[in-house]
Amino acid sequence: MFNGYVQVYTGNGKGKTTAAVGLAVRAAGCGLRVFFGQFVKSLHSGELHCMQRLDGLIDIQQYGRGFIRGTPGAEDIEAAEKGLSQARAAVLSTDYQVVILDEINVALALGLLELHEVVGLIQDRPQSVELVLTGRGAEQKVIELADLVTEFKEIKHYFNKGVTARHGIEY
């Protein structure tokens, strides 16, 4: 029987989603079923196109209209709540061994989700499910409940020199 853990990828550095995608591809390559839910995002990026080609091993869902600037609207909250509901169903089902909730920490920070709901999901997780939560600003309670926490720290970034997101590299 598969023994899963809770992982958190957080911090202000680049690479949290990329690390989660790498884990999803590795798991799928070993025959594990993966649920990959993205909160806030709506961009159809290169990694999503690649994962979609893995013949049903990775189920990808997006719950957002794109990055939020300013106050989130009702549609943003509704999308995040739908995402959390589907994530809960994926975690509690026997269909997936790995559940990745990309940018869920950002959804929490923006007030799109309630902390107690995410904490409940972590606590209700069957031991046979690897649960990964990504995004900047992970809540202290989420960090405490995790088995593995990696902080991505920005040292230097070319965005600060005006370089915009590049196709195939950042999306």
Helix, strand or coil, per DSSP, at residue 19: helix
What are the residues whose beta carbons fall under 8 Å from the beta carbon of 35, sequence distance 6 or more?
58, 59, 61, 87, 90, 91, 95, 96, 98, 99, 100
Average pLDDT, the chain: 91
Torsion 86-43-146-32 (CA) sign: positive
If DSSP states are collapsed to H, E and C, what string results for 134-147?
ECCCCCHHHHHHCC
What are the residues whose beta carbons fall under 8 Å from the beta carbon of 26, sequence distance 6 or more?
none
Q: What pLDDT was estimated at residue 1?
A: 64
| Long-range contact set of residues 137-144: C-beta below 8 Å, sequence gap at least 24 | 137/10, 137/105, 137/106, 137/108, 137/109, 138/8, 138/10, 138/105, 139/105, 139/108, 139/109, 139/115, 141/115, 142/8, 142/105, 142/108, 142/115, 142/118, 143/8, 143/10
| pLDDT of 41 strictly over 80 | no
- What tens digit of pLDDT does each residue of 95-143 get? 999 999 999 999 999 999 999 999 999 999 999 999 999 999 999 999 9
Length of the chain counted residue by residue: 171
- What tens digit of pLDDT does each residue of 49-74 get? 777 777 788 999 999 876 667 777 88
Q: How confident is the model at residue 45 (pLDDT cuts 50, 70, 90)?
A: confident
Q: How confident is the model at residue 42 (pLDDT cuts 50, 70, 90)?
A: low
Torsion 7-20-129-80 (CA) sign: positive
**43 and 167 Cβ atoms separated by less than 8 Å:** no
Q: What pLDDT was estimated at residue 148?
A: 98
Instruction: Pull the structure tokens for residue 6.
Output: 């809770």
| pLDDT of 168 strictly over 80 | no
| Domains detected in the chain | 6-145 (3.40.50.300)
Q: What pLDDT was estimated at residue 54?
A: 76
Record the pTM: 0.90
| pLDDT of 160 strictly over 90 | no
**88 and 121 Cβ atoms separated by less than 8 Å:** yes
